[in-house]
Structure 1
């Protein structure tokens, strides 16, 4: 397993993260356990901020909270000077409860409800990324009722498809997201928004996919957005002050992944903006981006305890852990690949090939196929790397399994940022109607 950030094998042969021995973390907090390397998260935030500062352009870096949204994470990225991207009332509420400045919150989503829009307007958030005509009219009506004007970006689809898993490519023409540039709906939306007294059109938003390892898709999208900007300037007299280029910057999960450095992504983007928008505007617009996975992804590690095994001679050896698709559904959803190691035996040589099974009552609950490990024993600790993004965020209570705790580790200190669910938490929202007898009947 590749060791990210502050991870290392200590003198005891144990995996150590943020100066904390994972064997000790297991004893203190139990497993499954999400462990977040706080120093690495802060490093990634600073890499984005520093790279954009070097470009000389005006910018905003907004953390895409859908990757991992808890109050401590909102507070951390706020400390690092980032803005915040939310896509639901739950994410917005989390951010507000954490004390995140509402003027630095951007609200995304393809089906915002009236209640969500009213909640966001009442909070005074900084910008709405409008996704469709229904939302455009709803937001206009709510803002007009309150007698205010709100900042908006229009999400457009530039017809660029990133080279990623088909389920997470969103910039192509056939997408549930955004106004299409090619069929004219994006231009119609610009005309409507710019003509509204209650919508302050800042510019456009474009997002072409996720887990992207090259810059060509971003460059092509920027070229097409610049061409669109030129068209609306000439025909509608509208000038975009902000161009939001979304996120999707890839990270390393396994040795097959070859992501670029943050600085390389940023330089390619800013160079393309300078090149194409210099032909359109006298002044280059402000650039916004929304990294999520690339800030939190490789900073996360999930720690499990090994339980049962099943050895099928000549076929496969299954090793089951005390978690699975409830805390990491990505392998089941996307066939995602991960690396792992025995955290309590970090220096032991590999002796066998095993497949890591989860504990859910599903044949598809497999975390890793064909993993090289030392001879695995019951109660060994398995550490799966790069689980910071879309693991806790997508976790469930399937089979009524409790969701794990989350701890931040840094400089030898560990702090719980999400408590482990209790059995009472599992039934906390259950209600038995009066018409259903509270006494069992066996008639």
Structure 2
């Protein structure tokens, strides 16, 4: 089976699963609303049906047509409606995740109670048997007291508070998610990092490199938004620009807007470097990788694939290298160079002459192999993860996010034995939602060591 068919089937199954979750939560919501507003059943039915279609239509598109359905959604559904729906998908995640954790915890507690040692059960039985005479004696008195007791009045105010509290989590999830939709369109934040260089390399002191990553042209990324990113990059006045992959999203037709962005970049020293991301190869399935690379280079980018270039700056130099996205080729195509071979080739072209060495790699996991090679480098710039798009903070080197597996190198600056990695959070995304993880441009400044 071809990789495209496999991905399509995976997306289709994911759509079916999400649609089922939508249906179950929608059913629970419908029952709760019918109980809360028994006199307005028609309105409740209509509201729930409309809400389900608004919330679930991306999942329904995927369930029917997989990957193609998702792309059809982006082409034919108005962007504001799609963005609102995707925001509600995240709200669903925020509601369903704690509920699922709570249900799992309750199930675990019940299992523990059933699995208590028989000895404990026997001891409880002995205690109960010993207490039985006293209980029998107290039973008539208890019955008399119960008969005399009046039914406890229902506290309507407390009841309303409890009902309102049950809506607090869904309301908060929707508010946070819709705020995340707005945040995904905000102006990129500028993260500044320093790269120490030798003091005698005076021509490099103060040199700046601006990094843009994971734009995903075509995936909720229109011409107006691209102009905002272009202007934000140019406003920095950086000497060099680098783009660390996933400029395109999924189709060669997005090359037109992608090259428009590249042509609009104005690095002070006139050079823009580019490394391939996995989505460049996804887009190449509708044409070929050579077409993608040619289009990017004609727009002014230097596309580096397992190679390095010398950048002369005054009387000094900087080494700029990049490696290919680490992956095997599709069926019927030549496999791309193995990761270790690509690293060895690119780093081997950088002379160990004291000049700073910057390596571009779309996938930050590359750093795991690169950091232990005998071929040195000073800084790796990566992207790919989008910072998780929903960030719950960071503990040590671990970024906490529900959208990515727990692992190193999701977002920010890392260091291992003098070798640095910076993972850019990206300018675009899988979903048009960012919570505590805004779009980002990285500005690297070379400073005297």
Name the one with the larger helix percent.
Answer: 2
With structure 2 as the length reference, what TM-score do the two structures score?
0.34
Work out which of the two has the higher radius of gyration on C-alpha atoms and give 1 or 2: 2
